[in-house]
Amino acid sequence: MAEEKKFTKKDFVNENNIEFKDLDDEQYRVYQYPDMEIKIEEPLLLNVSKSGGHRVWDSKGISHYLPAGWRHLYWVVKENKSHFAF
């Protein structure tokens, strides 16, 4: 079985010049909505839109869009990294 490719920030293509912030210090982040929970493992980059939605790109190369409206957002950082880097 082939190993899953692990993406880095160098692999990220941003043709829209949207500003993304570094999430490289996070192990994962979780968005809790009233009816569901979404966990993103190894998030790398984040953009917060004017509407409050989050664009998150992770180490699997998955682009996530999470509309505003979550009840709770939490994350776990990697060892010895800043707990609030923004």
Determine the pLDDT at residue 1: 61
Determine the pLDDT at residue 2: 63
Domain ranges of the chain: 19-77
79 residue type, one letter: E
Report the alpha-carbon distance of residue 54 to residue 31 in Å, rounded.
Answer: 10
Report the alpha-carbon distance of residue 37 to residue 73 in Å, rounded.
Answer: 10
Q: 13 — phi, psi (to 5°)?
A: -110, 120
Q: 7 — phi, psi (to 5°)?
A: -85, 155
Determine the pLDDT at residue 64: 96
Determine the pLDDT at residue 84: 78
Among candidate residues 82, 76, 83, 73, the one with its CA nearest the CA of residue 53: 73
Q: Are the CB atoms for 54 and 48 separated by under 8 Å?
A: yes
Per-10-residue mean pLDDT, the chain, length 86: 84 92 95 95 96 96 94 90 76
**Fold classification of 19-77 (topology level):** SH3 type barrels. (2.30.30)
Determine the pLDDT at residue 86: 59
